[in-house]
C-alpha cells in the first residue's frame, strides 16, 4: 500500500481522490487512456475502454507507459489481470495493417495468421475483401478502405492505416508570420497530425485550433476542403486564413446555403453537404470537385451521420479533425477513430491555462428553488416535459439579472436552449438576442459590436456554442442546455477562455433548479470539465440576490 491518489479496480474502473496532493499529476497521467464516467465532489470515476487504449496506442503511448502510470499512482496493488488485459488490448492495435504494395493498391496484412483468418470470416467483413495474396495478406478494394476499418474496429481488431495518401492538387500556402508565431503546442499538434497522416487534434476552446488547421494546410501545400458547423464559422475561418496565411480572397471559396464557390481552399458547411432532395445528397459532387490534398473537419465531435458515410469514401485524402472534446453524445467516437483517424494530439486544458494561453476560469453553479406552485406543476408533469419546466422557471430571471449587475461593464454572454426563455431574458436585460433565426449578416454585426465593446451583453442560443470567436467575452451565464450534453458544456465554457489582456479570471455560471432533472443534467454536463480539472462551486440563489 502506498499513498497514491488512485484506486485501480479489477472491473477496469479507476477511482481518483480529488483532494489528494498528487491528484492533478495522476489526472494528467491517466487522461490519454482513461475516460471519465462520474465526477462528484471527492472521488472521480474513470474507466479503461478498448477505444481509449487504442487511441493512446495510436498517439504513441505503449502498454508499458500505461501500466507505469497505474502503478505509480495506485494506492493499492493493481490487479494483475487488469495489467495483462491492458497490455493485450493495446497489442491488438497494429496486428492488422492496411498497406500499399507494387502489385496491389490496397492490402490488409497481419503479423498473425490466426487473426487474419478470424476477421476475414466475419460476415460483414468478407464482402469488403478481394483475393487472397498469401498466408498473411489479402487484397482490399481501395473504395472499401474506410468501411473495412469501421468493421474491423467493431470486431475488436483495429487496423493501423499505413496505406498513405494522395498528394492532391498542389497549391502554395504559407503562414504569414507578421508579428506572430505558432505556439509550441500548436507546432506539436501539427507535427503529430502530419506524422500520423490523418487524425484528430484536441485543444481547449480558445487555444487556436484554426491556426493548427492553417499550419497543416501550409504543411500540405495542397488544395484544401474545410468543413464547418455554420456560415458564421465559415466566414471566421476565411477571415483568419486571410490574416494568417498567404492566401488571397480569390483563393478562398465559401460553399454554403448562400454561396456556391469552389476554389483552391473551399470552406463548406455540414448543413449544405447533408442537404437531401428526393433522397439524394445534391451537393456530394463537392467532394470530387477538386483533387483535394487535405480535408479539415472543424468541431469533429459534431459530424452528422451522413458525413461519416461520405468520409468513408475519402480515405485516400489526408483528414484533420479539430475539436475541444472527443465526447460525442451519440456514442460514435469509434467512427471518428476509424474514419477521421486516431487522436494525434491532446493538450489538457489546465496545462494550456498554466502556460497563460487560455484564461483561468471560476465555475459556479447557482441553485434556485422552485416556488410551491411550480413544484407541484413539475411533480405532476409528464417526464418529457419536466426538463423544460424546471430549466425555464421564472425564478432564474432575477438571478441572471443579479449576476449581470455583479459584472457590470464586463463582456457578458447569457446562453440557453429555449427561445421563449431567451427572449424573456433579453427583454429583461435590454440586450440583443441571437438565435438560429437571426440572419447571418445581423449575427455578424452583433458579434462585431460585442468584440469592439459597443455592446457588452448578448443573449445567445446554441448557435453560439461552436466556432464563434468572441475573445473579449469574460462572463458566461448558462440558463438552460441541451439536456446532459458534456460537449456543449465544454464549448460554452470555451466562449470565455480566451486570455484577457489584464490577466483576469473568466467567470462561468450555470443557473439550475434544485431537486429537478435540471440539476441532474447539470451534473452530467460537468463531467468532461471535471476531467480537465475544473471544479464547480455551488451557491444558493438567495446568496447571489442578497448581494444586490
Report the 10 Å Cβ neighbour count for 272. 21
Q: At what angle do helices 80-92 and 50-58 cross, to 10 degrees?
A: 60
Report the 10 Å Cβ neighbour count for 365. 19
Beta bridge pairs of residue 540 = 367
Task: Kindly give, in sequence order, each residue whose CB lies less than 8 Å from that of residue 75, ignoring residues fewer than 6 positions away.
Answer: 1, 2, 3, 4, 5, 6, 7
- The grid coordinates of residue 456 equal 457588452
Q: Give the Cα-Cα-Cα angle 229, 233, 236 (nearest 5 degrees).
A: 160
Which CATH class for the 184-352 domain? alpha beta
**Distance, first Cα to last Cα, the chain:** 52
Euclidean distance between CA atoms 40 and 292, whole angstroms: 46
Task: Determine how β-strand 137-140 pairs with β-strand 129-134.
Answer: antiparallel
Q: What pLDDT was estimated at residue 219? A: 96
Spell out the domain ranges in the chain: 6-92, 96-161, 184-352, 359-546
Euclidean distance between CA atoms 6 and 505, whole angstroms: 30
CATH number of 359-546: 3.40.50.300
Q: What pLDDT was estimated at residue 41? A: 65
- The grid coordinates of residue 529 equal 470539465
Q: What pLDDT was estimated at residue 393? A: 94
Euclidean distance between CA atoms 296 and 289, whole angstroms: 16
Domains 184-352 and 359-546 belong to one CATH topology: yes
Query: Cα-Cα-Cα-Cα dihedral of 95, 100, 106, 109, to 10°?
Result: -20
Task: Kindly give, in sequence order, each residue whose CB lies less than 8 Å from that of residue 482, ignoring residues fewer than 6 positions away.
Answer: 417, 462, 488
Backbone dihedral region for residue 77 (phi beyond 0: left; psi -120 to 50: alpha; all else: beta): beta
Environment class of 369 (CB within 10 Å of its CB; exposed 0-12, middle 13-18, buried 19+): middle
Q: Which of 317, 324, 234 is nearest to 271 (CA)?
A: 234
Cell 502498454, located at residue = 63
Give the DSSP H or E segment for 403: helix 396-406
Asked if residue 186 lies in contact with residue 215, where contact means CB atoms within 8 angstroms, the answer is yes
Q: At what angle do helices 184-196 and 209-220 cross, to 10 degrees?
A: 50
Q: What pLDDT was estimated at residue 451? A: 85
Euclidean distance between CA atoms 350 and 143, whole angstroms: 41
Helix (H, G, I), strand (E, B) or coil at 419: helix
Beta bridge pairs of residue 109 = 97, 137
Task: Kindly give, in sequence order, each residue whose CB lies less than 8 Å from that of residue 331, ignoring residues fewer than 6 positions away.
Answer: none
Report the 10 Å Cβ neighbour count for 3. 8
Phi/psi at 545 (nearest 5 deg)?
Answer: -70, -30
What is the residue-level pLDDT of the chain in tens, covering all 548 positions?
578 999 999 999 999 998 899 998 998 899 889 987 776 668 888 999 999 999 899 888 999 999 999 999 999 999 999 999 999 999 999 899 999 998 999 999 999 999 999 999 999 999 999 999 999 999 999 999 999 999 999 999 999 999 999 999 999 999 988 878 899 999 999 999 999 889 999 888 888 899 999 999 999 999 999 999 888 889 989 999 999 999 999 999 999 888 899 999 999 999 888 888 877 888 888 888 899 999 999 988 888 888 888 888 889 999 999 988 777 767 788 888 899 999 898 887 778 888 888 888 888 999 999 999 999 999 999 988 898 999 999 999 999 999 999 999 899 999 998 999 999 999 999 999 998 888 888 988 998 898 888 999 999 987 766 556 666 788 989 998 876 567 777 778 877 888 776 778 889 999 999 999 888 888 877 877 777 778 788 899 898 888 76
Task: Determine how β-strand 43-48 pairs with β-strand 13-17.
Answer: antiparallel
Phi/psi at 393 (nearest 5 deg)?
Answer: -55, 135
Euclidean distance between CA atoms 481 and 382, whole angstroms: 19
Asked if residue 196 lies in contact with residue 344, where contact means CB atoms within 8 angstroms, the answer is yes
Q: Is the dihedral of CA 46, 51, 57, 58 positive or negative?
A: negative
Q: What pLDDT was estimated at residue 330? A: 73
Helix (H, G, I), strand (E, B) or coil at 163: coil
SS3 sequence of 39-60 = CCCCEEEEEECHHHHHHHHHCC
Beta bridge pairs of residue 97 = 109, 160
Beta bridge pairs of residue 140 = 129
Task: Determine how β-strand 343-346 pairs with β-strand 506-513.
Answer: unpaired
Euclidean distance between CA atoms 541 and 513, whole angstroms: 10
Query: How many angstroms separate the most distant Cα atoms in the chain?
Result: 78
Euclidean distance between CA atoms 462 and 478, whole angstroms: 11
Q: Which of 284, 369, 350 is nearest to 542 (CA)?
A: 369
Euclidean distance between CA atoms 471 and 474, whole angstroms: 8
Amino acid at each position: 500500500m502506498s499513498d497514491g491518489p488512485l484506486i485501480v479496480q479489477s472491473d477496469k474502473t479507476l477511482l481518483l481522490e480529488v483532494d489528494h496532493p498528487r491528484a492533478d499529476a495522476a489526472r494528467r497521467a491517466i487522461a490519454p487512456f482513461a475516460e471519465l464516467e462520474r465526477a462528484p465532489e471527492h472521488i472521480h470515476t474513470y474507466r479503461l475502454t478498448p477505444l481509449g487504449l487504442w487511441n493512446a496506442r495510436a498517439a504513441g503511448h505503449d502498454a508499458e507507459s500505461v501500466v507505469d502510470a497505474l502503478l505509480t499512482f495506485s494506492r493499492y496493488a493493481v490487479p494483475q489481470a487488469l495489467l495483462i488485459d491492458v497490455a493485450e488490448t493495446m497489442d491488438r492495435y497494429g496486428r492488422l495493417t492496411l498497406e500499399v504494395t507494387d502489385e496491389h493498391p490496397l492490402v490488409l496484412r497481419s503479423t498473425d495468421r490466426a487473426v487474419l483468418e478470424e476477421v476475414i470470416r466475419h460476415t460483414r467483413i468478407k464482402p469488403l475483401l478481394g483475393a487472397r495474396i498469401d498466408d498473411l495478406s489479402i487484397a482490399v478494394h481501395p473504395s472499401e478502405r474506410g468501411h473495412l476499418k469501421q468493421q474491423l474496429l467493431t470486431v475488436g481488431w483495429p487496423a493501423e492505416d499505413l496505406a498513405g495518401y494522395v498528394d492532391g492538387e498542389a497549391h502554395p500556402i504559407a503562414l504569414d508570420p507578421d508579428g506572430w508565431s505558432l505556439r509550441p503546442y500548436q507546432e506539436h499538434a501539427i507535427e503529430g497530425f502530419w506524422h500520423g497522416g490523418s487524425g484528430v487534434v484536441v485543444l481547449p476552446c480558445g487555444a487556436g485550433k484554426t491556426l493548427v488547421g492553417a499550419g497543416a494546410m501550409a504543411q500540405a501545400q495542397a488544395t484544401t476542403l474545410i468543413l464547418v458547423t455554420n456560415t458564421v464559422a465559415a466566414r471566421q475561418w476565411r477571415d483568419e486564413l486571410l490574416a494568417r496565411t498567404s492566401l488571397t480572397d480569390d483563393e478562398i471559396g465559401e460553399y454554403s446555403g448562400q454561396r456556391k464557390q469552389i476554389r483552391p481552399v473551399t470552406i463548406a458547411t455540414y448543413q449544405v453537404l447533408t442537404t437531401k432532395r428526393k433522397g439524394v445528397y445534391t451537393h456530394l459532387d463537392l467532394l470530387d470537385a477538386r483533387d483535394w490534398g487535405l480535408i479539415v473537419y472543424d468541431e469533429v465531435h459534431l459530424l452528422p451521420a451522413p458525413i461519416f458515410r461520405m468520409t468513408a469514401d475519402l480515405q485516400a485524402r489526408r483528414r484533420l479533425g479539430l475539436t475541444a472534446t472527443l465526447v460525442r453524445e451519440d456514442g460514435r467516437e469509434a467512427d471518428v477513430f476509424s474514419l477521421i483517424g486516431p487522436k494525434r494530439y491532446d493538450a489538457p486544458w489546465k496545462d494550456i491555462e498554466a502556460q497563460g494561453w487560455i484564461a483561468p476560469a471560476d465555475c459556479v453553479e447557482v441553485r434556485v428553488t422552485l416556488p410551491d406552485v411550480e413544484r407541484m406543476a413539475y411533480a405532476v408533469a409528464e417526464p418529457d416535459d419536466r426538463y423544460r419546466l424546471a430549466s425555464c422557471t421564472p425564478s432564474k430571471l432575477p438571478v441572471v439579472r443579479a449576476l449581470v449587475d455583479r459584472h457590470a461593464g464586463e463582456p457578458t454572454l447569457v446562453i440557453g436552449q429555449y427561445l421563449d426563455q431567451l427572449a424573456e431574458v433579453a427583454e429583461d436585460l435590454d440586450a440583443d438576442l441571437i438565435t438560429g433565426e437571426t440572419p447571418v449578416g445581423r449575427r455578424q454585426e452583433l458579434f462585431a459590436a460585442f468584440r469592439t465593446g459597443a455592446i457588452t451583453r448578448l443573449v445567445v442560443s446554441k448557435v453560439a456554442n461552436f466556432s464563434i470567436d468572441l475573445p473579449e467575452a469574460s462572463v458566461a451565464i448558462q440558463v438552460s442546455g441541451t439536456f446532459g450534453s458534456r460537449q456543449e458544456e465544454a464549448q460554452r465554457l470555451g466562449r470565455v477562455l480566451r486570455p484577457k489582456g489584464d490577466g483576469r479570471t473568466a467567470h462561468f455560471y450555470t443557473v439550475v433548479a434544485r431537486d429537478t432533472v435540471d440539476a441532474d443534467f447539470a451534473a452530467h454536463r460537468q463531467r468532461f470539465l471535471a476531467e480537465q480539472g475544473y471544479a464547480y462551486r455551488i451557491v444558493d440563489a438567495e446568496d447571489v440576490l442578497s448581494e444586490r
